[in-house]
Amino acid sequence: MKFTEEHEWLREEDGVMVVGITTHAAEQLGDVVFIELPEEGATVSKDDEVVVIESVKAASDILAPVDGEIVEVNSALADNPGAVNDDPQGEAWFFKMSVSDASQMEEFMDEAAYQAFIA
């Protein structure tokens, strides 16, 4: 699993990247009450706002970690946004995307580096 400075995690699965937010990010956001996911099939560029996540406190944007295409979204989250608090690094993934420029993955942190980043 790789981590971004935007507190997203990426996990490779069947040739695509599964993307979600970290446990740390979910704790900071507080209780998540609404999630707006991107369209499947959408072509996105790194740092595009692809997900809107609202907690009891505020709205936040989740950015595309790399260039690519959204191939699948976790539509179960729309009815159960609280899953992001319950299992942010597991069940509550946001979307799966293809990666068009693998070199963009190189800057991401491993788990140890991410833990140091948030320490």
Partner 1 sequence: MDDLATTPLYDLHVALGAKMVPFAGYSMPVQYPLGVLKEHLHTRARAGLFDVSHMGQVLLSGPSWDAVALAFERLVPMDVLGLGDGRQRYGLFTNDAGGIEDDLMFARRGEDLFVVVNAACKAADIARMRAGLPGEIAVTELADRALIALQGPGAAAVIEDLDARAAEMRFMDVADLSLCGHAVWASRSGYTGEDGFEISVAADEAETLVRSLLEQRDVAPIGLGARDSLRLEAGLCLYGQDMDAETGPVEAGLAWAIQKVRRPGGARAGGYPGAEVIAEVFERGAARRRVGLRPEGRAPMRDGVPLFEAEEGGAQLGVVTSGGYGPSVGGPVAMGYVAVDQAAPGCRLWGEVRGKRLPVAVVPLPFVPAGFKR
**Contact map string, positions 46 to 75, toward partner 1, x by CB under 8 A:** ------x-x-xx-x----------------
Nearer to partner 1 among residue 31 and residue 111 (C-beta):
31
Burial of 118 (0-12, 13-18, 19+ CB in 10 A): middle
In residues, how long is the chain?
119
Q: Which of 6, 11, 33, 48 binds partner 1 (CB under 8 A)?
A: 33
Please state, in angstroms and rounded to a whole number, the distance separating the CA atoms of residues 101 and 24: 27
Please state, in angstroms and rounded to a whole number, the distance separating the CA atoms of residues 91 and 79: 14
Nearer to partner 1 among residue 52 and residue 105 (C-beta):
52
Residue with tokens 């040739």: 15
113 interacts with partner 1 by CB under 8 A: no
Residue type at 58 in one-letter notation: A
- Residues found near partner 1 in the complex (CB under 8 A): 30-31, 33-34, 36, 52, 54, 56-57, 59, 78, 81-82
